[in-house]
Structures are given as C-alpha cells and as structure tokens.
Amino acid sequence: MGSVTRIVVQRLLLGILTLLVVSIVIFTAVNLLPGDFAQAVLGQGATEEAIRSIRRDLGLDQNIVLRYLDWLGGVVRGDLGVSFAQMNFQSNMGGGEMKTVAAQIAPRFGNTMFLAGVTAMIAVPLSITLGVLAALYRNSAFDKGANLFTLSSISSPEFFLAYVLILFLAVIYPVLPSLSNIYEGMGFGERLEKTLLPALTLTLVVTAHMMRMTRAAIIQLLSSPYIEMARLKGISPMRVIVRHALPNALAPIINVIALNLAYLITGVVVVEVVFVYPGIGQLFVDAVKIRDIPVVQAACLIFAGAYILLNLTADIMSILSNPRLRHPK
C-alpha cells in the first residue's frame, strides 16, 4: 500500500504545483492590461488624486513580484479582493459595507455545484447503461442510431441544444420552467425543478462522449480469451458484459467520466447564461463584459482549480482501479 500512497501524494503535489503556475499565468495575463487598475476602477472622469489614493490602496505602486505574492497570500486566506463594481459604487456614493469577491462567489459556487451534481446524477448512470447496451447490441440498428445521435449532440453548440430543449419542454409543452431563478431558502423539490432543464442540456452534451468511450472500452475487451471462455461456458451476453467485461473496462470509463465532469466546467458557462442560472459561470461572463478584473481573476482561478482537481482525480482513480499500477513490480 505504501507505493500507492506515494504515487497519490506525488500526483497531489504535482497538481498543487500546476495550480501555482496557473495562478502565475492568470496574474501575468491580467497585468498585461494597459494603464492600470486604478484607472479601470474609476473610469474616465477620475481626478489625479483619486487615482493616486486607489493605487496606494491596491498596492499598485509596488513591484509586480511583491504584488503577486500579496495576491497569492490573499487567495490562500480566502481573500479574493473587492470587485471593481463595488469599489466604484462606494467611491461614487460613499459609505456602506463592500461585498468581497469571495462573498459574491460563495453562494453562486454552491449553485453551480448543485447544477453539476444533478447533471452527473443523470448523465453517469444513463451513459454507462447506454454504453453497455450499445456494446451488447453492437452493429445493430440501436447501435447505429445511438452513434448518429451522440455524434450529433457532441458536435452541436450547447446553446443550440439548450434552445431546442426550451422550445419543446418549456414553450410548446410547458413542463419545465425556462428560466432558473433560484434564490436562497428555496425548497429542494422546487430547486430541482428549476435546475432540471439546464441539467438536461448539459447531460446531452456530456452523455454522448461518455457513452462512446464506455462502448469502445467494452468492445476492446470482448476479443480477449477470458471473455470467450465466459461465452463458451454458456452464460448470457448481458452477464458476460456486466460481470466480466465491465469491471476490467472500469479504469478507462472512470477516467472519461472525470474528464467529462471537467468538461462540464466549460459547458456550464454557456448554459448558465442561456437559462439565467445564478451560478459562477454567469457571474464570470458578466464580469468579463464590464471588465471587472478581480472577479474575472477569481472565477478563472476557481475554474482552473476545479479543472485541475478533476483531471487529478481521473489520474488517481485510474491508478487505483488498475491492480497492475496498484502493485508495481
């Protein structure tokens, strides 16, 4: 067991290192902005004095390495700064508590996680079942139809699928709400109902890929001698696949599930905008439009962190599910 722990710890350290480098990249990118934050915060009509005071408040008169370390220290403590919109409001209107970026993001992060969770709960069992069925009835009409359908839904943009679903499930046959106005203190059932349409859209996007990989992983195993043995024993094709092929195909399947959940992170941005879902993706896009750098920076870091974490999970799970990697010679 010692070697496995070592591999896992190694991967974790590598992940943290990657995240650190990514934070440097994001910070550098943001510092490529012409002029500086102070002007961006206050806009065109700012006085020289106001700019100077903001520069001092933000520490913009220091050198870039110090500023990076300062920002990183803040991030580690959970302090992501204050958004420009809030700062601008305060400098113009005065007074009032400023909401920090962390406080803005926290509830939305929960909402996004809820959406991703609901999607995963639908998509993972569905795609594995469909993948097993496609492998079982390979080259049949079902398999070809599923192939056509999945290839089309992989290659459609998210907003196309979203609008088609809105058209059929919200406008023509009003079964589900087309806007996800989620607020705090909402009951679980109602919340689920409002989340269902975005979750279904994301399900369509990710299921296709997971199902194709499940099918490919199982079919690749079907030519191995032990499967032939199982078949010659006379057990049913379904049992051959579920009991004998599936456990060995688990490593690539887990891998592709984790990678697709990572893909969800990108998909979530567009889908949240379509359904006006109050998640972190929508906040991100709004911040991009008004160039609210602290929010963009923070959201970017969170997305990258989640992406790296899921990739890392995929890596570790595929090691753990493979006995040959678990007990290296």
Least Å from the CB of residue 221 to other proteins: 11
- Per-residue DSSP letter, 138: T
Q: End-to-end CA distance of the chain, in Å?
A: 13
**Binding residue count for other proteins, defined by CB under 8 A:** 65
Give 203-247 as a 3 state SS string. HHHHHHHHHHHHHHHHHHHCCCHHHHHHHHCCCCHHHHHHHHHHH
Q: Can you tell me which of 60, 304, 320, 325 binds other proteins, judged by CB under 8 A?
A: 304
Which is nearer to other proteins, 124 or 196 (by Cβ)? Answer: 196
Name 79's Cβ contacts closer than 8 Å, sequence gap at least 6: 100, 102
Write each residue from 144 to 173 as x if it is in contact with other proteins (CB under 8 A), else as -, in one continuous string. ----x--xx-xxxxxxx--xx-xxx--xx-
Q: Is 192 in the site for other proteins (CB under 8 A)?
A: no
Q: Can you tell me which of 37, 256, 303, 318 binds other proteins, judged by CB under 8 A?
A: 303
* 3-class SS of residue 175: coil
Write each residue from 11 to 30 as x if it is in contact with other proteins (CB under 8 A), else as -, in one continuous string. -------xx-xx--xx--xx
Which is nearer to other proteins, 109 or 321 (by Cβ)? Answer: 109
Spatial distance between the Cα atoms of 135 and 213, rounded to a whole number of angstroms: 10
Q: Is 316 in the site for other proteins (CB under 8 A)?
A: no
Q: Is 138 in the site for other proteins (CB under 8 A)?
A: yes
Least Å from the CB of residue 7 to other proteins: 19
Beta bridge mates, 100: 82
Please provide the size of the chain in residues.
329
Residue with structure tokens 């302090």?
A: 79
Least Å from the CB of residue 261 to other proteins: 12
Spatial distance between the Cα atoms of 294 and 30, rounded to a whole number of angstroms: 9
Least Å from the CB of residue 123 to other proteins: 18
Residue with structure tokens 């990514």?
A: 22
Beta bridge mates, 82: 100
Site for other proteins, residues 60 to 119, rule: CB under 8 A? none
Write each residue from 172 to 191 as x if it is in contact with other proteins (CB under 8 A), else as -, in one continuous string. x--x--x-------------
Among candidates 308, 323, 202, 179, which has minimal Cα distance to 251?
Answer: 323
Q: In this structure, how many other beta carbons lie within 10 angstroms of the beta carbon of residue 321?
A: 17
Beta bridge mates, 7: none
Spatial distance between the Cα atoms of 229 and 313, rounded to a whole number of angstroms: 34
Which is nearer to other proteins, 168 or 183 (by Cβ)? Answer: 168
Least Å from the CB of residue 37 to other proteins: 11
Site for other proteins, residues 227 to 266, rule: CB under 8 A? 236-238, 262, 265-266
Cβ atoms 194, 111 nearer than 8 A: no
**Residues of the shown chain interacting with other proteins in the complex, contacts defined by CB under 8 A:** 18-19, 21-22, 25-26, 29-30, 32-35, 40, 133, 136-138, 141-142, 148, 151-152, 154-160, 163-164, 166-168, 171-172, 175, 178, 219, 236-238, 262, 265-266, 269-270, 273-274, 284-285, 287-289, 291, 293, 296-297, 299-300, 303-304, 307-308, 311
